[in-house]
């Protein structure tokens, strides 16, 4: 009986491993293929696109880096990412604190304003009209302004997190004569570090990966984020697949490296957001 | 409604929340409501061009004056995209989560990390990678099915383009559902399974009577997110097949196509934003209906249990 169970367990395990192997293959193969392609010369690619690269042609990367002008775009992306993430996180934290503590009148109505936003029609078109009328089309500010906000998942996660921080901190701080803003920056924000780390990373990835807004709002090249640069490059150099893939790997690599180190925070943040909202 | 007493200055507290409220009103709720207003105008995306209210003309064009086959195709595509993405994504995410929750499996963290990765890579990298892998001329998948004497246009053929978009969308978004499922599974106390085992429950019985009912709230969140998310999603479609290929057009893609003419890649062009807003309102009603239908059917099912 026992040995029969063992065989059954082994069988289930093998099946599970097989299933996981197929899934992992489906997820890793495209990236390996893109990487493999990026190492070939154009001729090698045209004669046999699927063969394994034998000689490594890193000059594709140099070429693509120059042609796609990625060095300029990468700084734009970093700038957009930092500004949008910092501004959004500050807004969420400063909103979450009084709402979570109930320090303000009409807290439920204010919170409702942020909940109802999720159930309304898509506002992309009027937003565009507004930015156009303000003369912010094709400016850094116009591009970023729609990606900044204090609502969404960070707000909910922060509100729950702040509930877990004892109120005695607030009282102690104000008795010691600490003003509200000093309290926020020196007491509350340090206490919220784990939550802020998760939410900042998720917000930052969202800004870094944006492509649709970059297409809608930006027309001059000097303002492009890296995604828009890659998008234009793949339209222009459609024939040169190895260089295209080299450019793609250069855009994806920082994300993959960051992901390897920050995975915990990212996954925790996603789960917290889904469970709490 | 009385506020809780605090020794912080009220004015400071209010000053702190003003930026968030301002942005929410001006960039969030305001534009959302204005979509409804703009849908009755002939406004364009070009600055300085005069515009006026034209009543129901946009809706009339949407429902009656355009080619009927196009409208029916868009609605059909939207439903196929939504149902396929929701069902397949959640089924596979459930299976993977259960497999990765099994303590007998080694290296679970690595597998989880791999499946979740596209969430970080983003929609552009995902779309370009799959355009390359599903290249109809010389991509690896084309070669593989070539071994069986098959050919396919993948993203370029009107027969397979929508399926390819669905595949890419699922590849990209499944990790998200999976980690949520995994968190749900991990919150089920192990004692329940032990008690079940003592009572002689088989594997499928413990799934049916322990795992599934306890995971149901999590699955429900996932399904809801997938329905709304897939109905609103147009990024993969526009980045892989553009706006002109009617075979892949969903409601959300049409909104972007008419309002921003994204197909051309530059955002220039006609940009009929009033008409686009009418499509956005249609999409809004569509999402509302789909969510209500799902909610009603789930409620009925919950009552039966």
Task: Write down the mean pLDDT value for chain B.
Answer: 88
Distance CA A104, CA A99 (A): 7
pTM score, two decimals?
0.91
Q: Predicted confidence band at B163 (pLDDT cuts at 50, 70, 90)?
A: very high
Position B15 in a domain: no
- pLDDT greater at residue B4 or residue A244: A244
Neighboring chain A residues of B255 at a CB cutoff of 8 Å: 122, 124-125
Residue B266 pLDDT: 46
Q: Which residues are paired to B53 by β-bridges?
A: B41
For A123, the closest chain B residue by CA position comes to: B32
Q: Is the pLDDT of residue B267 over 50?
A: no
Q: Is B113 on the interface with A (CB under 8 A)?
A: yes
pLDDT in tens, B5-27: 777 888 999 999 999 999 999 99
Position B123 in a domain: yes
Alpha carbon of A243 to those of A61, A232, A246, B76, B186: distances in Å? 7, 13, 5, 38, 44
Distance CA B294, CA B290 (A): 6
- How many Å lie between the alpha carbon of A95 and the closest alpha carbon of chain B? 5
Q: Are residues A211 and B33, on separate chains, in Cβ contact within 8 Å?
A: no
ipTM of the prediction: 0.90
Average pLDDT for A134-159? 92
Position B39 in a domain: no
Dihedrals phi, psi of B53, to nearest 5 degrees: -75, 135
Q: Are residues B111 and A97, on separate chains, in Cβ contact within 8 Å?
A: no
- pLDDT greater at residue B276 or residue A59: B276
Nearest to B154 by CA among B173, B168, B169, B135: B135
Q: Is B267 on the interface with A (CB under 8 A)?
A: yes
Give a three-class secondary structure readout of chain A. CHHHHHHHHHHHHHHHHHHHHHHHHHHHHHHHHHHHHHCCCHHHHHHCCCCCCCCCCCHHHHHHHHHCCHHHHHHHHHHHHHHHHHHHHHHHHHHHHHHHHCCCCCHHHHHHHHHHHHHCCCCHHHHHHHHHHCCCCCCHHHHHHCCCCCCHHHHHHHHHHHHCCCCHHHHHHHHCCCCHHHHHHHHHHHHCHHHHHHHHHHHHHHHHCCCHHHHHHCCCHHHCCHHHHHHHHHHHCCCCHHHHHHHHHHHHHHHHHHHHHHHHHHHHHHHHHHHHC
pLDDT in tens, B46-67: 887 888 899 898 999 889 877 7
Residues in Cβ contact with B26 at an 8 Å cutoff, skipping those fewer than 6 apart = A130
Residue B149 pLDDT: 83
Position B49 in a domain: no
Position B28 in a domain: no
Distance CA A149, CA A199 (A): 13
Average pLDDT for A243-260? 90
| Touching A: B residues 56-85, CB under 8 Å | none
Q: Which residues are paired to B272 by β-bridges?
A: B44
Q: Is the pLDDT of residue A1 over 70?
A: no
Residue B29 pLDDT: 94
How many residues does this entry show for chain B? Answer: 305
- How many Å lie between the alpha carbon of A59 and the closest alpha carbon of chain B? 20
Residue A200 pLDDT: 94
Winning range, highest mean pLDDT, from A170-174, B195-199, B231-235: B231-235
Q: Predicted confidence band at B1 (pLDDT cuts at 50, 70, 90)?
A: low
Distance CA A61, CA A76 (A): 20
Please count the residue pairs, one from chain A and one from chain B, whose beta carbons lie less than 8 angstroms apart.
Answer: 301
Residue A2 pLDDT: 64
Position B50 in a domain: no
- How many Å lie between the alpha carbon of A51 and the closest alpha carbon of chain B? 9
CA-atom Rg of chain B in angstroms:
24
Position B36 in a domain: no
Range of the domain at B182: 58-304
Q: Are residues B1 and A211, on separate chains, in Cβ contact within 8 Å?
A: no
Q: Are residues B24 and A259, on separate chains, in Cβ contact within 8 Å?
A: no
Q: Is the pLDDT of residue B104 over 90?
A: no
Position B6 in a domain: no
Winning range, highest mean pLDDT, from A14-28, A67-81, A83-97, B197-211: A83-97
Residue A277 pLDDT: 53
Residue whose structure tokens are 């793949």: A234
Residue A46 pLDDT: 76
Nearest to B119 by CA among A239, A114, A267: A267
Neighboring chain A residues of B104 at a CB cutoff of 8 Å: 9, 12-13, 16
pLDDT in tens, A202-235: 999 999 999 999 999 998 989 999 999 998 888 8
Q: Which residues are paired to B44 by β-bridges?
A: B272
Q: Predicted confidence band at A276 (pLDDT cuts at 50, 70, 90)?
A: low
Q: How many CB atoms lie within 10 A of CB B153?
A: 15
- How many Å lie between the alpha carbon of B231 and the closest alpha carbon of chain A? 12
Q: Is the pLDDT of residue A8 over 90?
A: no
Closest in B3, B118, B143 to A104, CB measured: B3
CATH, residue B91: 1.10.3720.10
Neighboring chain B residues of A130 at a CB cutoff of 8 Å: 26-27, 30-31
Q: Are residues A248 and B17, on separate chains, in Cβ contact within 8 Å?
A: no
Q: Is the pLDDT of residue B268 over 50?
A: no
Question: How many separate domains does chain B show?
Answer: 1
């Amino acid at each position: 009986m026992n040995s029969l169970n063992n065989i059954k367990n082994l069988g289930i395990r093998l099946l599970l491993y097989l299933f996981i192997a197929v899934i992992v293959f489906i997820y890793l193969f495209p990236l390996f293929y893109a990487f493999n392609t990026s190492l070939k010369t154009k001729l090698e690619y045209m004669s046999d696109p699927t063969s394994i690269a034998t000689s490594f042609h890193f000059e594709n990367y140099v070429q693509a880096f120059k042609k796609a002008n990625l060095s300029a775009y990468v700084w734009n992306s970093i700038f957009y990412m930092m500004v949008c993430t910092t501004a959004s996180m500050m807004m969420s934290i400063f909103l979450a604190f009084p709402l979570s503590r109930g320090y303000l009148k009409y807290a439920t109505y204010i919170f409702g304003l942020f909940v109802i936003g999720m159930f309304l029609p898509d506002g992309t078109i009027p937003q565009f009209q507004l930015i156009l009328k303000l003369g912010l089309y094709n400016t850094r500010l116009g591009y970023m302004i729609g990606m900044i906000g204090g609502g969404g998942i960070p707000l909910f996660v922060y509100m729950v997190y702040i509930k877990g921080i004892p109120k005695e901190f607030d009282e102690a701080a104000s008795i010691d004569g600490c003003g509200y803003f000093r309290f926020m920056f020196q007491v509350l924000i340090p206490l919220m570090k784990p939550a802020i780390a998760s939410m900042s990373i998720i917000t930052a990835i969202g800004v870094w990966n944006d492509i649709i807004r970059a297409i809608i709002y930006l027309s001059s090249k000097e303002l492009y984020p890296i995604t828009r640069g890659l998008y234009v490059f793949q339209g222009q150099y459609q024939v040169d697949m190895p260089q295209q893939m080299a450019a793609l790997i250069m855009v994806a690599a920082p994300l993959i490296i960051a992901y390897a180190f920050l995975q915990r925070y990212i996954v925790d943040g996603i789960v917290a957001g889904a469970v709490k909202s | 409604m009385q506020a809780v007493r605090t020794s912080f200055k009220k004015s400071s507290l209010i000053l702190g929340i003003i930026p968030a409220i301002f942005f929410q009103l001006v960039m969030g709720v305001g534009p959302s409501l204005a979509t409804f207003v703009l849908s009755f105008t002939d406004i364009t995306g070009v600055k300085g061009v005069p515009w006026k209210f034209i009543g129901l003309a946009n809706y009339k064009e949407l429902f009656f004056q355009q080619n009927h086959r196009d409208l029916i195709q868009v609605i059909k595509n939207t439903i196929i995209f939504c149902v396929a993405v929701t069902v397949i994504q959640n089924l596979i995410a459930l299976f993977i989560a259960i497999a990765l929750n099994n303590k007998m499996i080694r290296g679970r963290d690595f597998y989880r990390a791999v499946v979740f990765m596209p969430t970080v890579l983003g929609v552009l990298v995902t779309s370009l990678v799959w355009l390359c892998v599903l290249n109809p001329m010389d991509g690896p998948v084309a070669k593989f099915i070539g071994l069986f004497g098959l050919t396919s246009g993948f993203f370029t053929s009107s027969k397979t383009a929508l399926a390819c978009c669905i595949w890419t969308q699922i590849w990209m978004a499944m990790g998200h559902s999976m980690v949520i499922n995994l968190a749900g599974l991990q919150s089920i106390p192990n004692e329940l399974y032990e008690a079940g085992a003592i009572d002689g429950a088989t594997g499928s019985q413990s799934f049916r009577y322990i795992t599934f009912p306890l995971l149901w709230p999590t699955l429900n969140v996932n399904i809801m997110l997938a329905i709304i998310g897939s109905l609103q999603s147009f990024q993969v479609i526009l980045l892989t097949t553009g706006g002109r290929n009617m075979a892949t057009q969903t409601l959300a893609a049409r909104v972007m196509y008419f309002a921003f003419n994204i197909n051309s890649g530059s955002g220039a062009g006609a940009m009929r934003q009033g008409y686009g807003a009418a499509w956005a309102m249609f999409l809004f009603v569509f999402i509302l209906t789909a969510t209500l239908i799902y909610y009603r059917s789930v409620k009925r099912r919950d009552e039966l249990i």
